[in-house]
Every structure is written in structure tokens, then in C-alpha cells.
Chains A and B, each alone.
Chain A
């Protein structure tokens, strides 16, 4: 059977499972819909949280980005897992005790203010949309490469599937579907990783393999070999960092704080029965996450090594089939600058910008581009998003492994997209309609609006996926910066400072969000030419600026709160109540 047929079979089976689970776990009440009835087992919830949280960026893009960043790629590893620790220790148990449906619920009640709730809803919707666009893009890439349909068609198929189980099952359907998706995605990630680790280093444990020696009999360490190869081609050493320490620090911090502030992850802790379950569930989730996150840097090393070896100095006619397949959908390209018919892979951009293909073919049969050449020796363009997906092919693994990875990538993208859609829909139907504009809404009407909101949100997300603003992980990094600067400080202060009042929280969120948003928009969109270290504030790139935004949020909130009246007694009592684990019951209606 061909790869394509196998992929159709794998993807078809997994989709059928997801839909069957959604039918079985249909939501009957708003409690089912928003928080799965509050009765999910901690281990299942841990799996669902892990799938929710490991997005297309984690599955598809992360190892690729690390492969090209080397040690600096640790910002993603440390940022995303370290933020999880913050979430587990500082937020999850208290939000579970608080026991309502959404993050804006908490902000609205704790800061006794509709305005604060609306600010939180705006932050949440903005973060979730930025994030979801990346997921849809991931879905599109998988479909177009492995099922050979247009990216737009792929995105639409993905949207239809997510809609079925998100709108039907709500949080309950999504939770159980995500647990299944976790199993699919981790299996799909580990199988090729183990294969490749055995091929390159001889060790079946990738986490140890990339610290071991090469299996080619040379006796050299894997990392040393890679460092040597890259230095020869004019790159920096893999194990040395290229970014400044302060920038790495800030990016890691922004990703950490941002992770802890992501509404679709926070809301997962509303679904377990008790405070102690929320703590345990966070622990399980991190174990499930760590399996993938400790494997990714190994995959990155093996993939980079394999990539160089199978591409560099090869005549175009002799490149492996995967190279031409990915060239066909425009994610790798080759510009034969010295007309020798061979691919020279070196440091630096091969040409300006992303490839702009003409319809013509060159002498060797390669696709020609209209891009202006650069003066580097590099002739090969490679989109970092393909590394994980192409990895099994690069290492010449069996076809079923390739198909499995496609199904895994879809599981990662769909599970995260569904979680995000749910928080968007809850924010609109629950926080905006029911709690702010139309309190008389009946439960049935609220459910109906929640489902309509999912449909609308999905449509918009699909548009982002078809017309993507940047590549997957970059878009996601944007969402993290904004979450770091707005939601995390407000929630943290809400639990740990009784004195924090609505004036302080709102001023903090607006300041943090406004600053971070403007900084990113300025360097990414208004004046991309000036996006260099010399122009950055304290040498911190737009990716890391959310850290400063969060500090600004804390500072402004503290200052404003000190100058205004303390919150009412009822709210201070609420904080006392949140701090006590006992008496935590099911998320209650209101």
C-alpha cells in the first residue's frame, strides 16, 4: 500500500474514534458543556490536558525549530514545561476551589466588576484566536502533504471534524476525545523517534541516544559530530547558544508566564471533582507532556544530522523523494546559484523571503523562483515546520510510520483547536451574553449560543489557517506574550493578594496588554526592518517582551491598588475561601 492510502486509513480510523467518543459523551447541560460535569478522573484529565496543551506547535513545529536553533531552542522546552509548574503550583488548585466555569468568571467575580470581566474576555478571545490560527495552519500542512489536497480544503475538513465533536460534546466530549488524541499523538511521536535513535545512535531511548555515540562505528559523540558538521558548513555549533543570555531569559520567562495564563489550559482544572484532584491532575499532565518534551530535543538533533547528510552536495536528480514532495507544496526549495546541479546547504538565507515559485522548471527539474538571490552560498530553503513530518521519510522509515505521524499531527492540532474553541464559545455565550448583556438567558438558549459561537469562531480560525500570518510556532509565541502580560498577573494577584482591587487589576491588564501588543505589532508589522537587537528594549526581542509586559502589569496593578480603596469584605472573604481546599465541591450553577 502506498503512503497515501495508509495515511487515509490511519486518519480515517482516528477520526471515526473521535466522533464515536463525541456521540457517547454528548453534553446535556451547561455544566457538561463548559466543565464536563466536573467529574473527570485526574489521570484522564491529565491526558486530556496534555493533548489540549500540546498543540500543532509542540508536535509539528517544535523539534524543527530546535533543530535549527540548537541550544537556544531550550526556550520552548523550558518555557512550556516550566510554565506548567507555575500553573500547577500557583493557579490550578485555587481556580478549582473557586469553582466556576471560565477564566473571565474568576476575574469578574474576584474583581467584582463587569468591566474587568469584559477586559478578560477580550484578552482571552485575542489569545485564543492567535493560537487557534496556528493549529489550523498545522492541519492544513498535514492534509496537503499527506492526503494531497489543497491546504484550504484540508483546513475545511479539519474544521468540520472539530465542529462535530466540540459543538456536540462540549467540554465532556472534548475531554474524552482529547484523552484518545493524546494516545494517538504520543504513539505517533515516539515510534519514529525510537526508530531514528536506533539508526543514528544505536540506543532505543532517544533521551539518552542523542548524548551517546554515533552508530556508524566512528565512535564519535552524536552532538560532537553534529557540531563538527555544522561548523564546516558555516553555522554556529549546535550546543552553543546564538541569542544573548538576557533574550533567552526573557523569552523563556514570557513563555512560562504565558503558558500559565492560557485560558484553555486553566479551564481544564475546573473539570476535576476536588482541589486535591486538580493538583494531582496537573502532575499527571506534566508526566504525559514530559514524555514528548524530552524526546523533542533528541528528534531535533537526529533530524538536523540526517537532513544535512541526505541533502548537502547531492545532485538534484539524486535527492530523496521526500525532498521533491515537499518542494511540490512549496516548503522546501533549491536555487542553483553556481549552476553545478548540486544542492549546497550552508548558513544564511538562500534568497529573500519565502519562495515565490514561477511555473517553470530548471535544468535539473527543480522549481524555479522569482525571488532575489542573496550573496550567501546557501542554496537550500527549508521550512522548519516540515522537520517532524518529514523526519520518518528522511530516515527512510517504513510507510506506516509516515502515515502514523500524519495522524498524530492532526490529533495534536485538533485537540488544541477544540479546547480553544470551547473557551472562546464559553467566553461569548457565558461571560458576554449571560453574565453581562442578557442575564435572563435560559440554560437552553445559553447552550445554543455557545454552539453558534463555536461555529463562528471556527470559521474565523479557518480563515487564519488558509491565509496564515506567519508560521505556526511564531503565531503561537505571540499568543503566549499576550497571555503573560494580561491574564496571568490578574489571576495570580487575585489569589495571593487580598488587597488587590478592581482598579488595580484592570489598569494592570490594560497596561500589560497594551504595551506587549504595541511592541510586537511595531517590530513585526509596522517596522520589521528595525527588528534587530540594537533597537530592542533592554535587548529583548518581541518573542520575549511578554515578560516585561507581565512585570509592567504587576507594577501598575500594585501602584493603582495602593492608591484606591480596598476590595469589599465579601470579596476578601471569597479570597479566604479560595485558599482553603476543604469544602471544594462541584462547579456550581449561578
Chain B
């Protein structure tokens, strides 16, 4: 699952990356064509899907549904199912969000829709 996705991402990278770094930080969403948006959205959904599979497996899977089965193994002194339910899943959650942050900024750049290099310095002010 992960490998397949990796391929997709990198191929898009080569295809699209260098071209549009300037237009992309435009404030106007219209400069992004419909097809590019839809490709971007598909890549986004695929990535989200993969992360949610992990999210589900460690919490509902290892921590709840298979907890009793996993409890026969010991990890760091804990029954394994108990550890996933009360410790492990939370660590994985933290990692997941950071993988998401990094992965998404890659996808954003690959499709030229990232929001970096813009607005952050002046952000507090120009509201009225």
C-alpha cells in the first residue's frame, strides 16, 4: 500500500515540480486549473486514506478488537493489547500527524499549490 503510493507521488513530482513555483503562491485560487486541482485532491485523498488505515489499526484494531489476543504477548512489561490501548496508539497518533504535515507539504509542492513563502510575516495586520 505504502509503496504504491510512493510511486504515484514521485512520478507526479518529476512531472510537475519545477514548473510553477511563482504562480502557485498567488492569492487567487482560479489560477489553478480544474484538472490540476482534481489530481491534487486525488493525491490528497489517497494519502489521507493510508494514514487513516494506520490510525484505525492501532486504536480500534490493536487496542480494542484484537486487544485480548495481543495480551498474550508482553512488551516493555505490559500485556501488548493493554499497552496499545493505553500508550502505544497515542504515540502512533503523534507520529501520524507529523507524517501528515510533511507528506502534505510535499504533495502541495508537487502540485504547485503550497502556501509557503507568503503572508506569514504580515499575517497579524492587514485585516481591515
Residues of A in contact with B (beta carbons under 8 Å apart): 29, 31, 37-39, 66, 71, 73-74, 77-78, 81-82, 84-86, 88-90, 93, 207-208, 211-213, 221-223, 239, 241, 245, 248-249, 252-253, 256, 273-277, 279-280, 282-283, 286-287, 290, 293-294, 297, 576-577, 579-589
In the complex, the answer to whether A85 meets B96 with C-beta atoms within 8 Å is: yes
Closest residue of chain B to A293 (Cβ to Cβ) is B90
Name the A residues within 8 Å of B44 (CB-CB): 579
Q: A212-B77, A297-B86, A584-B115 are in contact. Are A89 and B97 (CB under 8 A)?
A: yes
Give 14 new A-B contacts, CB below 8 A, not counting A77-B86, A584-B119, A585-B27.
A29-B127, A37-B127, A78-B85, A81-B93, A86-B55, A88-B97, A89-B48, A208-B76, A211-B83, A222-B77, A239-B79, A241-B68, A579-B37, A582-B32
In the complex, whether B123 has a CB less than 8 A from a CB of chain A is: yes
Q: A223-B78, A294-B87 are in contact. Are A279 and B59 (CB under 8 A)?
A: no
Give the distance in Å from the alpha carbon of A276 to the alpha carbon of B118 in the complex.
Answer: 11
7 closest cross-chain pairs (CB), A and B:
A39-B124, A273-B123, A211-B77, A74-B85, A297-B86, A283-B97, A211-B78
Can you report 13 A-B residue pairs in the complex whose CB atoms are below 8 A from each other?
Answer: A78-B90, A212-B77, A221-B77, A253-B60, A273-B124, A276-B104, A276-B108, A279-B100, A290-B90, A576-B29, A579-B41, A582-B113, A587-B127
Q: A38-B124, A73-B86, A252-B60 are in contact. Are A582 and B29 (CB under 8 A)?
A: yes
Closest residue of chain B to A285 (Cβ to Cβ) is B97
In the complex, the answer to whether B123 meets A586 with C-beta atoms within 8 Å is: yes
Give the distance in Å from the alpha carbon of A283 to the alpha carbon of B108 in the complex.
Answer: 18
Instruction: Give chain A nearest CB distance to B122 CB in angstroms.
Output: 8
In the complex, the answer to whether A582 meets B26 with C-beta atoms within 8 Å is: yes
Name the B residues within 8 Å of A274 (CB-CB): 115-116, 118-120, 123
Give the distance in Å from the alpha carbon of A286 to the alpha carbon of B91 in the complex.
Answer: 10
In the complex, whether B67 has a CB less than 8 A from a CB of chain A is: yes
In the complex, the answer to whether B94 meets A252 with C-beta atoms within 8 Å is: no
Residue of A66, A84, A90, A583 with most chain B CB atoms under a 10 A cut-off:
A583
In the complex, the answer to whether B123 meets A589 with C-beta atoms within 8 Å is: no
Instruction: Give chain A nearest CB distance to B116 CB in angstroms.
Output: 6
Give the distance in Å from the alpha carbon of A90 to the alpha carbon of B76 in the complex.
Answer: 33
Instruction: Give chain A nearest CB distance to B90 CB in angstroms.
Output: 5
In the complex, whether B12 has a CB less than 8 A from a CB of chain A is: no
Q: A245-B64, A587-B127 are in contact. Are A297 and B87 (CB under 8 A)?
A: yes
Give the distance in Å from the alpha carbon of A555 to the alpha carbon of B104 in the complex.
Answer: 30
Give the distance in Å from the alpha carbon of A577 to the alpha carbon of B30 in the complex.
Answer: 8
Tell me the chain B residues, 65-96 only, with Cβ under 8 Å from chain A: 65, 67-68, 71, 76-79, 82-83, 85-87, 89-91, 93-94, 96
Give the distance in Å from the alpha carbon of A466 to the alpha carbon of B120 in the complex.
Answer: 44
Name the B residues within 8 Å of A239 (CB-CB): 71, 79, 82
In the complex, the answer to whether A89 meets B100 with C-beta atoms within 8 Å is: yes
In the complex, the answer to whether A89 meets B51 with C-beta atoms within 8 Å is: yes
In the complex, whether B35 has a CB less than 8 A from a CB of chain A is: no
In the complex, whether B16 has a CB less than 8 A from a CB of chain A is: no
Q: Which of B71, B83, B100, B113 contacts A580 (CB 8 A)?
A: B113
Closest residue of chain A to B81 (Cβ to Cβ) is A71
In the complex, the answer to whether A89 meets B52 with C-beta atoms within 8 Å is: yes
Instruction: Give chain B nearest CB distance to A3 CB in angstroms.
Output: 31
Give the distance in Å from the alpha carbon of A586 to the alpha carbon of B100 in the complex.
Answer: 23
Name the B residues within 8 Å of A66 (CB-CB): 86
Residue of A73, A222, A283 with most chain B CB atoms under a 10 A cut-off:
A283
Give the distance in Å from the alpha carbon of A297 to the alpha carbon of B60 in the complex.
Answer: 18
Name the A residues within 8 Å of B128 (CB-CB): 29, 31, 589
Closest residue of chain A to B71 (Cβ to Cβ) is A239
In the complex, whether B13 has a CB less than 8 A from a CB of chain A is: no
In the complex, the answer to whether A248 meets B86 with C-beta atoms within 8 Å is: no
In the complex, the answer to whether B101 meets A279 with C-beta atoms within 8 Å is: yes
Residue of B44, B55, B124 with most chain A CB atoms under a 10 A cut-off:
B124
Instruction: Give chain A nearest CB distance to B80 CB in angstroms.
Output: 11
Give the distance in Å from the alpha carbon of A84 to the alpha carbon of B96 in the complex.
Answer: 11
Instruction: Give chain A nearest CB distance to B110 CB in angstroms.
Output: 12
Instruction: Give chain A nearest CB distance to B66 CB in angstroms.
Output: 10
Closest residue of chain A to B36 (Cβ to Cβ) is A580
In the complex, whether B25 has a CB less than 8 A from a CB of chain A is: yes
Name the A residues within 8 Å of B116 (CB-CB): 274, 276
Name the B residues within 8 Å of A581 (CB-CB): 104, 108, 113-115
Closest residue of chain A to B37 (Cβ to Cβ) is A576
In the complex, the answer to whether B28 meets A74 with C-beta atoms within 8 Å is: no
Give the distance in Å from the alpha carbon of A74 to the alpha carbon of B91 in the complex.
Answer: 14
In the complex, the answer to whether B71 meets A582 with C-beta atoms within 8 Å is: no
Instruction: Give chain B nearest CB distance to A365 CB in angstroms.
Output: 39
Q: A245-B64, A580-B29 are in contact. Are A290 and B91 (CB under 8 A)?
A: yes
In the complex, the answer to whether A71 meets B82 with C-beta atoms within 8 Å is: yes
Name the B residues within 8 Å of A39 (CB-CB): 123-125
Q: A582-B113, A582-B114, A589-B128 are in contact. Are A283 and B101 (CB under 8 A)?
A: yes
In the complex, the answer to whether A582 meets B60 with C-beta atoms within 8 Å is: no
Q: Which of B67, B104, B127 contacts A589 (CB 8 A)?
A: B127
Closest residue of chain B to A297 (Cβ to Cβ) is B86
Name the A residues within 8 Å of B37 (CB-CB): 576, 579-580
0/1 per residue, B34-61, Cβ < 8 Å to A? 1001001100100010011001000110
In the complex, whether B9 has a CB less than 8 A from a CB of chain A is: no
In the complex, the answer to whether A38 meets B78 with C-beta atoms within 8 Å is: no
Give the distance in Å from the alpha carbon of A589 to the alpha carbon of B119 in the complex.
Answer: 17
Instruction: Give chain A nearest CB distance to B43 CB in angstroms.
Output: 12
Name the B residues within 8 Å of A286 (CB-CB): 93-94, 97
Instruction: Give chain B nearest CB distance to A313 CB in angstroms.
Output: 28
Give the distance in Å from the alpha carbon of A585 to the alpha carbon of B51 in the complex.
Answer: 27
Name the A residues within 8 Å of B123 (CB-CB): 38-39, 273-274, 585-586
Closest residue of chain B to A79 (Cβ to Cβ) is B59
Instruction: Give chain A nearest CB distance to B35 CB in angstroms.
Output: 12
Give the distance in Å from the alpha carbon of A256 to the alpha carbon of B27 in the complex.
Answer: 34
Give the distance in Å from the alpha carbon of A585 to the alpha carbon of B29 in the complex.
Answer: 12
Name the A residues within 8 Å of B100 (CB-CB): 88-89, 279, 283
Instruction: Give chain B nearest CB distance to A112 CB in angstroms.
Output: 19
Closest residue of chain A to B48 (Cβ to Cβ) is A89
In the complex, the answer to whether B29 meets A77 with C-beta atoms within 8 Å is: no
